[in-house]
Structure 1
Amino acid sequence: MTNIQKICLLKEAPFTIPTLSRWFVDEWTSWYGPEGKGNSTRDLEACLQHDNLPLAVVALDDNNTVLGTAALKLQSLGSELGYGPWLSALLVGRPFRRQGIGNSLIRAIEDQARQLGLKRIYVSTDTAISLVTRRGWILTGQQVASPRGSVPILYRNL
């Protein structure tokens, strides 16, 4: 079991970007891989903020090993339907999954959204539905097309 030492803003831990960038490519190859349109490093660097969007948080252990990340962005998969802002880029490193880190990252993003005065945030996910619904997120009833198929959109009132 891995213990989270802290969750901080990516701005406070930019040394994690190379690891996170590799994880993004591995996890979302169709977007960040050689054939994709995305640039993982550029997307992460855009999140080096603390009071504007996009911003990101990272979970670290007591050795400053990166465990996972999540972002709060104005746009994500589903923005074309008029929703936002978004919990996005939720990713826990493969060895650290199923240990509560994703839940802690979502809570940290919710807290960041509250601090920014946001009243509602959204997520489009097909892999973390049970995780977000346990935290009180609600299905909108709408779905959005993704490279993996149709993905539901959920929201959380803050």
Structure 2
Amino acid sequence: MTTADSRPGGPRSPEQRKREALARLARDNDVWAATADATGEPCLVPLAFWWDGEAVWLSTRDTNPTGRNLCASGRVRLSFGHTRDVVLVHGTARMLTREELPAGVGDAFAAKDGWDPREDHPSYVFFRVAPQVLQAWGTVVEMAGRTLMRDGEWLV
């Protein structure tokens, strides 16, 4: 991927940003997941993920702060990439146990990451994160028009 700083001609079009955001979701291995507890105490952790074309799948223990926060509020912000080429997703998460996983999800998650939470500690669960807002930008010149999805619907 290129960033706005390294490409002549100014900011990327919304269509190009969408293509590149979807490519990042398909190929990156890890994401920063931000949650908060009921008192507002933030928690930020890197997690492995799998993108199924509609939702981001995460796995973590339901006993750690991130798992507890996701179970309690269902709210999460995910940050893919780096500060000069970021995809930011505001989403709603739904917890699923190993037994509740739709067919193929666990295998696809394990194949992408090389780690299978289903074979790890029993406290590992999965979270399906449905994007509600998706933003993508490189630098300040791309701040305008960075929102590519709102209310779960693509704008481009």
Give the TM-score, by structure 1 length. 0.31
Which one has a larger percent helix, Structure 1 or Structure 2? 1
Which one has a larger percent strand, Structure 1 or Structure 2? 2
